[in-house]
Copies of this chain bind each other. A is one copy, B any other.
Amino acid sequence: MQDRGEILLHRLRGIVGDAGVLSDTAEMAAYGTDWRDMFHGRPLCVVCPATTGEVAQAVAACATLGEGIVPQGGNTGLAGGATPDDSGTQVIISLDRMNAIRRIDPIGMTVEVEAGAILQTVKDAVADKNRLLPISLAAEGSAQIGGLIATNAGGVDVLRYGMTRALVLGLEVVLPDGQILRHLRHLRKDNAGYDLKQLFIGSEGSLGIVTAAVLRLVPQVRHRATAMIAVPNISAAIRLYERAQTEMGEALSAFELISGAGLDLVAEHMGRSAPIQGADWCLLIEAGSSLSGLREACETLLETAFNEGWATDGVLAESEAQADALWALRESLTEAEAKAGGAIKHDISVPITAIDGFLRDAGDMLADIAPQARLNVFGHLGDGNLHYNVMNVTEGDAGRVNAGVHDVITRHSGSISAEHGLGQYRVSEWARLTDPVERALSRQLKDTLDVHGVMNPGKVVPIMREAHD
């Protein structure tokens, strides 16, 4: 093993130069662990190619020797998808150096970027041309385009613009054997043959490495409306959601749910207090449009909500600063939770009309197996996507709580990962809960594209073949 590692290091240095290969333990530390310090690995080395050709050569070198490759972008994932195992043999391929914004077309509304470009940087560049790249998430200052595509990232704008998949028009991918699939088309419509890029979006680097992409842009909005509303219960929140769709339609971009307990955590640990106090549940609603008439629609919605008893309190932001302050509450939830001792996190989705039932059943399950647990539930109600985070649970109970929540989700026809992906964190739960036909077809796809099993091994699909395959 030692010898093979030395041979590989030598070859990789030949491809990207000595400076492009990190093999010192201290230098590699930031790459071997995720940002939350939950997943820990020990790579053989970290390779930093500067071109697609170098990525291809590095992949081919690893594949020839049968060594595992772990693609890594901004390392902001939440499921350990970019963290290597602890064998000391896997090679991290970092896209850090491939960060060019190759071309912005404000008329065709596309941008072509390399995988290592940081989301915020790309958003700023297209904003200069009056265009928006509509992916909005807390990690946008360090998340990279390649990683966002590989995980099909979500965020707070999905309600309006869809997941990252909906924005990918073209991809360049290095395949597990080192060949390059070049499909960097700036086309909104292309039905010529199988849409191969779909294979790689959301496959978390287990089928190939995204090296560049063409993304779809949208016009910047001119008017913005942001409101925080207290609701008496989840049913009322859902009625309000339905009405908001009717009143604001395509202008509605976020419909977030926050619990009163969550706002208390933010007040206690982050020193930010909400303009609304004492409610069990609050909504944070945002809409944007090129058309005037947005504010009027938002006021009509609020009026209806009060008249119908769907809202008990509410505030409509009067300035950008007020709107930003409301969003700061939402964005402080995760940090407040961490300061309060952390939580067992779930990233679930169910049909919107099943949210109430899911919360009731999951609550009953917790009362049974972890009666001391406290909840911090928030998320994207309009997408049926909740972060159902369970606090005050002992490490010993964590597995049971996790499985319990996933069982309830499955009964409500939901997903155990709405937007964070499986990574290494949820692979075994996926295998436990997924239909055998779907599992077998996923396995088949992995084995076809990654014949030698070198591409991000153990992520998305389990390493071992299953007995029935």
Which chain B residues lie closer than 8 Å to A182 at the CB level? 435, 437-438
Please measure, in the bound complex, the distance between the C-alpha atom of A182 and the C-alpha atom of B441, giving whole angstroms.
12
Number of A residues, CB within 8 Å of B:
96
Closest chain B residue to A131, Cβ basis: B245
**Is A110 an interface residue, CB under 8 A from the partner?**
yes
A191 and B152 contact, CB distance less than 8 A = yes
Q: Knowing A154-B189, A417-B191, A437-B179, say if A130 contacts B293 (CB, 8 Å).
A: no
**Identical chains bound together, number:** 2
**Is A314 an interface residue, CB under 8 A from the partner?**
no
A349 and B187 contact, CB distance less than 8 A = yes
B189 and A437 contact, CB distance less than 8 A = no
A290 and B249 contact, CB distance less than 8 A = yes
Please measure, in the bound complex, the distance between the C-alpha atom of A444 and the C-alpha atom of B189, giving whole angstroms.
24
Closest chain B residue to A160, Cβ basis: B250
**Is A341 an interface residue, CB under 8 A from the partner?**
no
Which chain B residues lie closer than 8 Å to A195 at the CB level? 152, 165, 198, 201-202
B166 and A166 contact, CB distance less than 8 A = yes
Which chain B residues lie closer than 8 Å to A221 at the CB level? 249
Please measure, in the bound complex, the distance between the C-alpha atom of A181 and the C-alpha atom of B227, giving whole angstroms.
42
**Is A428 an interface residue, CB under 8 A from the partner?**
no
Mark A266-301 against chain B: 1 for CB-CB distance below 8 A, else 0. 000000000000000000000001111110110000
Q: Which residues of A, 426-455, contact B by the 8 Å Cβ criterion?
A: 426, 430, 434-435, 437-438, 441-442, 444-446, 448-449
B154 and A349 contact, CB distance less than 8 A = no
Please measure, in the bound complex, the distance between the C-alpha atom of A351 and the C-alpha atom of B106, giving whole angstroms.
11
B187 and A353 contact, CB distance less than 8 A = no
Which chain B residues lie closer than 8 Å to A183 at the CB level? 435, 438
Which chain B residues lie closer than 8 Å to A352 at the CB level? 105, 107-108
Q: How many whole Å from A248's CB to the nearest CB in chain B?
A: 6
Q: Knowing A108-B384, A198-B195, say if A413 contacts B293 (CB, 8 Å).
A: no
Q: How many whole Å from A377's CB to the nearest CB in chain B?
A: 16
Q: How many whole Å from A286's CB to the nearest CB in chain B?
A: 14
The listed residue with most B CB atoms (<10 A of its CB), out of A105, A109, A193, is A193
Closest chain B residue to A445, Cβ basis: B194
- Within 8 Å by CB of A192, from B196, B238, B426, B445, lies B426
Q: Knowing A189-B419, A191-B202, say if A196 contacts B442 (CB, 8 Å).
A: yes
Please measure, in the bound complex, the distance between the C-alpha atom of A130 and the C-alpha atom of B422, giving whole angstroms.
36
Please measure, in the bound complex, the distance between the C-alpha atom of A222 and the C-alpha atom of B300, giving whole angstroms.
15
**Is A247 an interface residue, CB under 8 A from the partner?**
yes
- Within 8 Å by CB of A438, from B193, B246, B351, B380, lies B193
Q: Which residues of A, 131-187, contact B by the 8 Å Cβ criterion?
A: 151-152, 154, 158-160, 162-163, 165-166, 175, 179-183, 185-187
B291 and A192 contact, CB distance less than 8 A = no
A192 and B289 contact, CB distance less than 8 A = no
- Within 8 Å by CB of A106, from B242, B414, B434, B446, lies B242
Which chain B residues lie closer than 8 Å to A154 at the CB level? 189, 191
**Is A218 an interface residue, CB under 8 A from the partner?**
yes
Q: Knowing A175-B441, A249-B289, A438-B183, say if A415 contacts B189 (CB, 8 Å).
A: yes
Which chain B residues lie closer than 8 Å to A339 at the CB level? none
Q: How many whole Å from A409's CB to the nearest CB in chain B?
A: 10
Which chain B residues lie closer than 8 Å to A187 at the CB level? 349-351, 384, 413-415, 418
Which chain B residues lie closer than 8 Å to A108 at the CB level? 351-353, 384
Q: Knowing A194-B203, A415-B192, say if A110 contacts B351 (CB, 8 Å).
A: yes
A selection of 30 A-B contacts at a CB cut-off of 8 Å is A108-B352, A152-B191, A152-B195, A175-B437, A179-B437, A181-B437, A185-B413, A185-B414, A187-B384, A187-B415, A188-B384, A189-B415, A190-B349, A191-B415, A191-B419, A191-B421, A193-B438, A193-B442, A193-B461, A194-B460, A194-B461, A218-B250, A222-B249, A247-B290, A248-B291, A250-B251, A251-B291, A289-B293, A291-B292, A291-B294
Q: Given A107-B352, A187-B413, A448-B448, 7 other A-B contacts at CB below 8 A? A: A190-B417, A191-B202, A199-B199, A249-B289, A251-B291, A289-B293, A445-B448
